[in-house]
Amino acid sequence: MRNLAADHLTAGAELRLRLRDACLGEIAGLAELVGSAIASGGKLLLFGNGGSAADAQHIAAEFTGRYLAERRPLPALALTTDTSALTAIGNDYGIDQIFVRQVRALGRPGDVALGISTSGRSPNVLAGLAAAAQSGLKTVLLTSGKAPVHGPEFDLTIRVPSDNTPLIQECHLAIGHIVCGLVDQRFAAVACTRM
Protein backbone atom coordinates (compact mmCIF):
# COMPACT_ATOMS: atom_id res chain seq x y z
CA MET A 1 0.00 0.00 0.00
CA ARG A 2 2.86 2.38 0.77
CA ASN A 3 4.30 1.74 -2.70
CA LEU A 4 0.96 2.48 -4.38
CA ALA A 5 0.60 5.67 -2.37
CA ALA A 6 4.16 6.70 -3.19
CA ASP A 7 3.61 5.95 -6.90
CA HIS A 8 0.46 8.13 -6.97
CA LEU A 9 2.19 11.02 -5.20
CA THR A 10 5.22 10.78 -7.49
CA ALA A 11 3.06 10.66 -10.63
CA GLY A 12 1.07 13.67 -9.39
CA ALA A 13 4.22 15.67 -8.67
CA GLU A 14 5.69 14.83 -12.09
CA LEU A 15 2.45 15.84 -13.81
CA ARG A 16 2.41 19.21 -12.02
CA LEU A 17 5.90 19.89 -13.31
CA ARG A 18 4.80 19.00 -16.86
CA LEU A 19 1.73 21.22 -16.38
CA ARG A 20 3.99 24.08 -15.28
CA ASP A 21 6.17 23.70 -18.34
CA ALA A 22 3.29 23.26 -20.81
CA CYS A 23 0.58 25.59 -19.51
CA LEU A 24 2.02 28.30 -17.29
CA GLY A 25 1.15 31.06 -19.76
CA GLU A 26 -2.42 29.83 -20.16
CA ILE A 27 -2.92 29.59 -16.39
CA ALA A 28 -1.68 33.16 -15.92
CA GLY A 29 -3.90 34.17 -18.85
CA LEU A 30 -6.93 32.65 -17.14
CA ALA A 31 -6.20 34.62 -13.97
CA GLU A 32 -5.88 37.81 -16.01
CA LEU A 33 -9.13 37.08 -17.89
CA VAL A 34 -11.07 36.44 -14.68
CA GLY A 35 -9.51 39.34 -12.78
CA SER A 36 -10.23 41.79 -15.61
CA ALA A 37 -13.82 40.59 -15.95
CA ILE A 38 -14.47 41.05 -12.23
CA ALA A 39 -12.73 44.44 -12.18
CA SER A 40 -15.10 45.53 -14.98
CA GLY A 41 -18.21 44.42 -13.09
CA GLY A 42 -18.47 40.94 -14.58
CA LYS A 43 -18.57 37.53 -12.96
CA LEU A 44 -17.25 34.01 -13.33
CA LEU A 45 -19.65 31.18 -14.23
CA LEU A 46 -18.31 27.65 -13.74
CA PHE A 47 -19.71 24.24 -14.68
CA GLY A 48 -18.83 20.60 -15.23
CA ASN A 49 -20.05 17.08 -14.45
CA GLY A 50 -19.24 14.81 -11.52
CA GLY A 51 -15.82 15.61 -10.07
CA SER A 52 -15.64 18.62 -12.39
CA ALA A 53 -18.92 19.88 -10.90
CA ALA A 54 -17.35 19.59 -7.46
CA ASP A 55 -14.32 21.55 -8.72
CA ALA A 56 -16.61 24.26 -10.12
CA GLN A 57 -18.32 24.59 -6.74
CA HIS A 58 -15.02 24.59 -4.86
CA ILE A 59 -13.53 27.34 -7.01
CA ALA A 60 -16.70 29.47 -6.86
CA ALA A 61 -16.68 29.21 -3.07
CA GLU A 62 -13.08 30.44 -2.93
CA PHE A 63 -14.14 33.56 -4.84
CA THR A 64 -17.30 34.38 -2.93
CA GLY A 65 -15.77 33.51 0.43
CA ARG A 66 -12.04 33.90 0.85
CA TYR A 67 -9.07 32.05 -0.56
CA LEU A 68 -6.00 33.41 1.30
CA ALA A 69 -6.06 37.18 1.21
CA GLU A 70 -8.66 39.33 2.92
CA ARG A 71 -10.62 41.11 0.19
CA ARG A 72 -14.18 41.79 -0.86
CA PRO A 73 -16.28 38.81 -1.98
CA LEU A 74 -15.87 38.24 -5.70
CA PRO A 75 -18.75 37.26 -8.01
CA ALA A 76 -18.53 33.61 -9.05
CA LEU A 77 -21.34 31.13 -9.53
CA ALA A 78 -21.23 27.36 -10.05
CA LEU A 79 -24.08 26.34 -12.37
CA THR A 80 -24.04 22.86 -10.82
CA THR A 81 -25.64 23.65 -7.47
CA ASP A 82 -29.32 24.42 -8.14
CA THR A 83 -30.91 20.97 -8.20
CA SER A 84 -34.33 22.39 -9.08
CA ALA A 85 -32.94 24.14 -12.16
CA LEU A 86 -30.79 21.16 -13.15
CA THR A 87 -33.63 18.66 -12.89
CA ALA A 88 -36.25 20.93 -14.47
CA ILE A 89 -34.04 21.80 -17.43
CA GLY A 90 -32.82 18.22 -17.75
CA ASN A 91 -36.40 16.91 -17.71
CA ASP A 92 -37.90 19.52 -20.02
CA TYR A 93 -35.04 20.15 -22.46
CA GLY A 94 -32.51 17.35 -21.95
CA ILE A 95 -29.26 17.06 -20.04
CA ASP A 96 -27.36 18.70 -22.89
CA GLN A 97 -29.19 21.95 -22.09
CA ILE A 98 -28.62 22.18 -18.32
CA PHE A 99 -25.77 24.67 -18.65
CA VAL A 100 -26.99 26.33 -21.86
CA ARG A 101 -30.22 27.58 -20.28
CA GLN A 102 -28.46 28.83 -17.15
CA VAL A 103 -25.72 30.60 -19.12
CA ARG A 104 -28.37 32.35 -21.24
CA ALA A 105 -30.31 33.35 -18.13
CA LEU A 106 -27.40 34.49 -15.94
CA GLY A 107 -24.49 35.34 -18.25
CA ARG A 108 -23.81 38.83 -19.55
CA PRO A 109 -21.26 40.14 -22.06
CA GLY A 110 -17.96 40.57 -20.25
CA ASP A 111 -18.51 37.61 -17.93
CA VAL A 112 -16.26 34.55 -18.10
CA ALA A 113 -17.65 31.04 -18.58
CA LEU A 114 -15.31 28.31 -17.36
CA GLY A 115 -16.29 24.80 -18.44
CA ILE A 116 -14.45 21.87 -16.87
CA SER A 117 -14.34 18.55 -18.71
CA THR A 118 -11.63 15.96 -18.10
CA SER A 119 -12.37 14.32 -21.47
CA GLY A 120 -13.02 17.56 -23.34
CA ARG A 121 -16.03 15.81 -24.86
CA SER A 122 -18.86 16.45 -22.37
CA PRO A 123 -21.77 17.55 -24.62
CA ASN A 124 -23.45 19.70 -21.97
CA VAL A 125 -20.20 21.50 -21.08
CA LEU A 126 -19.34 22.18 -24.72
CA ALA A 127 -22.90 23.35 -25.39
CA GLY A 128 -22.76 25.65 -22.36
CA LEU A 129 -19.53 27.20 -23.62
CA ALA A 130 -20.99 27.61 -27.12
CA ALA A 131 -24.02 29.39 -25.63
CA ALA A 132 -21.66 31.59 -23.59
CA ALA A 133 -19.73 32.59 -26.72
CA GLN A 134 -22.99 33.42 -28.51
CA SER A 135 -24.00 35.59 -25.54
CA GLY A 136 -20.75 37.60 -25.55
CA LEU A 137 -19.00 35.87 -22.63
CA LYS A 138 -15.33 34.95 -22.66
CA THR A 139 -15.02 31.16 -22.83
CA VAL A 140 -12.48 28.88 -21.18
CA LEU A 141 -12.23 25.08 -21.35
CA LEU A 142 -10.25 23.34 -18.62
CA THR A 143 -9.50 19.86 -19.96
CA SER A 144 -6.70 17.34 -20.62
CA GLY A 145 -4.68 15.43 -23.15
CA LYS A 146 -7.79 13.28 -23.71
CA ALA A 147 -9.58 16.18 -25.41
CA PRO A 148 -9.80 16.28 -29.19
CA VAL A 149 -7.09 18.48 -30.66
CA HIS A 150 -9.51 19.83 -33.27
CA GLY A 151 -12.76 20.90 -31.71
CA PRO A 152 -14.68 24.01 -30.79
CA GLU A 153 -12.61 27.17 -30.45
CA PHE A 154 -12.68 28.97 -27.10
CA ASP A 155 -10.95 32.11 -25.91
CA LEU A 156 -8.66 29.90 -23.84
CA THR A 157 -8.14 26.14 -23.54
CA ILE A 158 -5.95 24.64 -20.83
CA ARG A 159 -5.02 21.01 -21.44
CA VAL A 160 -3.48 19.15 -18.52
CA PRO A 161 -0.87 16.96 -20.29
CA SER A 162 -2.16 13.57 -19.10
CA ASP A 163 -4.82 10.94 -19.74
CA ASN A 164 -5.02 9.81 -16.09
CA THR A 165 -8.40 11.07 -14.86
CA PRO A 166 -7.68 11.34 -11.10
CA LEU A 167 -4.39 13.16 -11.70
CA ILE A 168 -6.03 15.46 -14.25
CA GLN A 169 -8.72 16.36 -11.72
CA GLU A 170 -6.07 17.08 -9.08
CA CYS A 171 -4.39 19.46 -11.53
CA HIS A 172 -7.69 21.14 -12.40
CA LEU A 173 -8.19 22.00 -8.76
CA ALA A 174 -4.57 23.17 -8.49
CA ILE A 175 -5.17 25.46 -11.49
CA GLY A 176 -8.29 26.79 -9.77
CA HIS A 177 -6.30 27.51 -6.63
CA ILE A 178 -3.55 29.27 -8.58
CA VAL A 179 -6.14 31.47 -10.31
CA CYS A 180 -7.78 32.23 -6.95
CA GLY A 181 -4.40 33.23 -5.51
CA LEU A 182 -3.54 35.49 -8.44
CA VAL A 183 -6.95 37.16 -8.44
CA ASP A 184 -6.73 37.50 -4.64
CA GLN A 185 -3.48 39.46 -5.02
CA ARG A 186 -5.09 41.80 -7.49
CA PHE A 187 -8.11 42.64 -5.32
CA ALA A 188 -6.30 42.57 -1.98
CA ALA A 189 -3.85 45.12 -3.41
CA VAL A 190 -6.78 47.32 -4.50
CA ALA A 191 -8.29 47.09 -1.01
CA CYS A 192 -4.97 48.06 0.61
CA THR A 193 -4.50 51.12 -1.60
CA ARG A 194 -7.98 52.39 -0.69
CA MET A 195 -7.43 52.21 3.08
| Mean pLDDT, residues 100-124 taken together | 97
Q: How confident is the model at residue 31 (pLDDT cuts 50, 70, 90)?
A: very high
**Cα gap 141→156, rounded to integer Å:** 6
Question: What pLDDT is attached to residue 189?
Answer: 67
- For 120-162, the pLDDT digits (tens) are 999 999 999 999 999 999 999 999 998 987 777 899 999 999 9
Question: What pLDDT is attached to residue 26?
Answer: 97
If 0-12 CB within 10 Å is exposed, 13-18 middle and 19+ buried, where does residue 6 land? exposed
Task: Calculate ∠ Cα 171-98-92, nearest 5°.
Answer: 155
Question: What pLDDT is attached to residue 190?
Answer: 62
CA 97 vs CA 25, 82, 106, 166, 176: distances in Å: 32, 14, 14, 26, 25
| Mean pLDDT, residues 70-81 taken together | 96
**Cα gap 30→157, rounded to integer Å:** 9
pLDDT at 194 over 80: no
pLDDT at 45 over 50: yes
pLDDT at 195 over 50: no
Name which of 56-65, 68-77, 95-104, 147-156 the model is least confident about: 147-156
Q: Which amino acid is at 85?
A: A
Q: For residue 70, give the 3-state DSSP assignment.
A: coil
What is the chain's mean pLDDT, rounded?
95
pLDDT at 91 over 90: yes
DSSP one-letter string for 27-44: HHHHHHHHHHHHHTT--E
List domains and CATH numbers for the chain.
Answer: 2-193 (3.40.50.10490)
pLDDT at 107 over 80: yes
In terms of Cα–Cα distance, which of 42, 10, 167, 192 is closest to 114?
A: 42
